[in-house]
């Protein structure tokens, strides 16, 4: 287990976006660690990605936009000032949510305490019936934990305002303590983001952040194809070691066709270069694998997914993964091990992460990237 042997020094957290680290830098000014099967990890600049992929490869990208999901509030009934909190709006349930119709219309929210430096620290939610006074006279009533055994995420009903309007007027992107300062919402949106009414992610699908329009054009010119999916990711606090919660996703019919066609070409010509399905981010893996049958064939799908991709379950459609560097205790590492184990020995991911620490790669949403490819 990586968590047993690897410690990531705090100074390896990316504190600002790449374009703010020096004059003339762009979003794509990050490093790229490349793992190919059992080979020793290689070190590249992210701008070299077109040279690392081949014509016919398919990049699966998440088009979900990031919400200004952090809103200030105060816990209490209005008598006195109340306790200041920051509400993180994670996920809005509908009647098809796996938790059932009882949570339809509720938001899964996380309450955190301001740390006095512009960020927040963990805080348990609840108790049931607690009310958070929100800007503009809105009120958020906490009802029950999302996980009956948990204390962090709670189902809550918002009254007196629409959540999207409340976030638009009073919200800001969720920010954690390893960053230096607040950033504008634009800093948390990727080049692939598309606004969709009622949709959006509490946290940025950050693996796609370093892509620029110029880099996308270079990839397309080379013959790399892009397949969009949407998965609205919820709050995944840096301090928590929890499996992912159900998330809303869409795999369009055109993406299913594109992926199936690439896989068919690869099966017909296994020695040919290209035709690999490379997910951009763990969200893309989750969405695509949720739409994959036991035979690996992708079908158009939409709804909620509670799939957890583990080494035991494996991957059915994904050949490679472009992703950020995750905390050694993060549940995302189970998914990375599943992808890595498809083409390498069980130690490949550990070797890559150890190399990333030695070479001073940067972690978290503004940090460097890791590309896992078949050997």
For the stretch 151-178, pLDDT in tens is 899 999 999 999 999 999 999 999 998 9
In terms of DSSP bridges, do strands 131-133 and 120-122 run parallel, antiparallel, or are they unpaired? unpaired
Model confidence at 54, pLDDT cuts 50, 70, 90, reads very high
Query: Tokens in use for 284?
Result: 């893309």
Contacts of 1 (CB under 8 A, 6+ apart): none
Q: What pLDDT, on the 0 to 100 scale, is given for residue 343?
A: 67
Give all strands of the β-sheet with 320-324 in edge-to-edge order. 42-45, 31-36, 369-373, 320-324, 277-280, 58-62, 225-232, 247-251, 301-305
Model confidence at 80, pLDDT cuts 50, 70, 90, reads low
What average pLDDT does the segment 251-264 reach? 97
pLDDT digits (tens, 9 = 90+) for 204-235: 999 999 999 999 999 999 999 999 999 999 99
Report d(CA 107, CA 67) in Å as an integer: 14
Query: According to CATH, where is 3.40.1780.10 located in the chain?
Result: 18-66+185-373
Contact 142, 193 (CB under 8 A): no
Query: Tokens in use for 280?
Result: 């951009």
Contact 318, 289 (CB under 8 A): yes
Q: What pLDDT, on the 0 to 100 scale, is given for residue 77?
A: 67
Cα distances (Å, whole numbers) of residue 12 to 60, 189, 327, 356? 28, 22, 11, 10
pLDDT digits (tens, 9 = 90+) for 245-257: 899 999 999 999 9
* Nearest Cα to Cα of residue 134 among 108, 173, 161: 161
Which residue's structure tokens are 């009956």? Answer: 148
More confident position, 108 or 333 = 108
* Nearest Cα to Cα of residue 65 among 185, 213, 226: 185
258: number of CA atoms within 13 Å, CB side? Answer: 21
CATH number assigned to the domain with residue range 18-66+185-373, chosen from the 4 options 3.40.1780.10, 3.90.850.10, 3.40.228.10, 3.40.1010.20: 3.40.1780.10
Is the C-alpha dihedral spanning 352, 312, 61, 13 positive or negative? Answer: negative
Contacts of 305 (CB under 8 A, 6+ apart): 231, 246, 247, 249, 286, 287, 290
pTM score of the predicted model: 0.94
Model confidence at 340, pLDDT cuts 50, 70, 90, reads confident
Query: Tokens in use for 14?
Result: 């990316």
In what helix (H) or strand (E) does residue 163 lie, and over which residues does it extend? helix 163-170
155 forms beta bridges with: 108, 144
Q: Please report how the helices 332-341 and 348-358 are oriented relative to each other, as an axis angle in degrees rounded to 10.
A: 120
Contact 132, 118 (CB under 8 A): no
Contacts of 141 (CB under 8 A, 6+ apart): 129, 130, 131, 132, 156, 157, 159
Angle, vertex CA 222, rays to CA 218 and CA 228, nearest 5: 75
What average pLDDT does the segment 127-148 reach? 94
């Amino acid at each position: 287990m990586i968590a047993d042997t690897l410690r990531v020094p705090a100074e390896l957290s990316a504190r600002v976006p790449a374009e703010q680290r020096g004059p003339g830098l762009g979003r794509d000014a990050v490093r790229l660690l490349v793992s190919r099967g059992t080979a020793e990890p290689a070190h590249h600049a992210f701008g070299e990605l077109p040279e690392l992929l081949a014509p016919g490869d398919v990049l699966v990208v998440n088009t979900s936009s990031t919400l200004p999901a952090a809103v200030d509030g105060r816990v209490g009934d209005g008598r006195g000032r109340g306790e200041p909190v920051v509400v993180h709006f994670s996920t809005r349930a509908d009647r098809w949510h796996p938790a059932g119709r009882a949570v339809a219309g509720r938001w899964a929210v996380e309450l955190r305490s301001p740390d006095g430096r512009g960020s927040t620290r963990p805080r348990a939610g609840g108790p049931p019936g607690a009310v958070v006074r929100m800007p503009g006279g809105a009120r958020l009533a906490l009802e029950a934990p999302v996980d009956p055994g948990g204390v962090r995420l709670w189902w809550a009903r918002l009254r007196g305002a629409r959540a999207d309007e409340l976030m638009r007027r009073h919200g800001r992107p969720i920010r954690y303590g390893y960053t230096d300062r607040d950033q504008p919402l634009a800093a948390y949106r990727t080049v692939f983001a598309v606004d969709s009414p009622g949709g959006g992610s509490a946290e940025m699908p950050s693996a796609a952040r370093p892509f620029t329009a110029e880099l996308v054009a270079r990839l397309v010119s080379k013959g790399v194809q892009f397949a969009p999916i949407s998965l609205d990711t919820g709050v995944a606090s840096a301090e928590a070691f929890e499996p992912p919660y159900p998330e809303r996703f869409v795999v369009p019919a055109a993406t299913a066709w594109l992926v199936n066609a690439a896989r068919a070409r690869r099966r017909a010509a296994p020695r040919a270069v290209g035709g690999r399905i490379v997910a951009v981010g763990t969200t893309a893996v989750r969405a695509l694998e949720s739409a994959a049958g036991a035979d690996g064939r992708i079908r158009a799908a939409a709804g909620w997914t509670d799939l957890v991709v583990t080494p035991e379950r494996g991957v059915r459609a994904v050949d490679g993964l472009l992703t950020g560097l995750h905390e050694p205790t993060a549940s995302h590492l189970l998914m990375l091990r599943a992808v890595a184990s498809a083409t390498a020995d069980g130690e490949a991911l550990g070797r890559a992460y150890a190399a990333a620490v030695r070479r001073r790669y940067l972690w978290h949403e503004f940090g460097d990237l890791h590309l896992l490819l078949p050997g």
